């Protein structure tokens, strides 16, 4: 990858501010353009307004709109965006999100 190539745009969605800011800082240091959302409604606003998201790091359990609802929305509207689930809830959640379509799954803590 040349220095002029962009690395991509990543959205971190997690209601745990420490997790969100840590991931945002890590990927920013690697040269990615980072966006963050601390709840599902905020995430949907970003997803609907920014069409060139390359990756979404998505928590499942959040107040209001949860990660599964967001994932379903993404798959209906922008199937090209890669989605990695990051959650403390693993086996049952993993089976459910795999049926919807994900690109990766990490159990917290990562």
Encode pLDDT of 16-70 as tens digits: 999 899 999 999 999 999 999 999 999 999 999 987 899 999 999 998 899 999 9
Tell me, what's the pLDDT at 108? 83
SS3 of 15, please? Answer: coil
Q: Please report the beta strands in the chain, taking only residues with DSSP state E, as ranges in sequence order.
A: 9-13, 33-37, 55-58, 82-87, 104-107
pLDDT at 3 over 60: no
Buried b (16+ CB within 10 A) or exposed e, 2-39: eeeeeeebbbbbbbeeebbeebbeebeeeebbbbbbbb
Prediction pTM value: 0.89
Which residue(s) pair with 86 in the sheet?
106
Tell me, what's the pLDDT at 1? 44
CB 94 within 8 A of CB 71: no
Q: What is the mean pLDDT of the chain?
A: 89
Q: Convert the pLDDT of each residue in 64-95 to its tens digit.
A: 899 999 999 999 987 789 999 998 877 788 99
Q: Binning pLDDT at 50, 70 and 90, where does residue 5 land?
A: low
């Amino acid at each position: 990858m040349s220095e002029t190539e962009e690395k991509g745009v990543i959205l971190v969605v997690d209601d745990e501010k420490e997790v969100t800011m840590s991931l945002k800082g890590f990927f920013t240091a690697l040269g990615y353009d980072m966006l963050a959302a601390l709840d599902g409604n905020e995430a949907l606003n970003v997803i609907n307004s920014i069409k060139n998201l390359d990756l979404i790091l998505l928590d499942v359990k959040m107040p209001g709109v949860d990660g599964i609802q967001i994932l379903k929305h993404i798959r209906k509207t922008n199937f090209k965006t890669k989605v990695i689930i990051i959650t403390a809830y693993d086996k049952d959640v993993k089976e459910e999100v795999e049926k919807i379509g994900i690109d990766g799954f990490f159990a917290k803590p990562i």
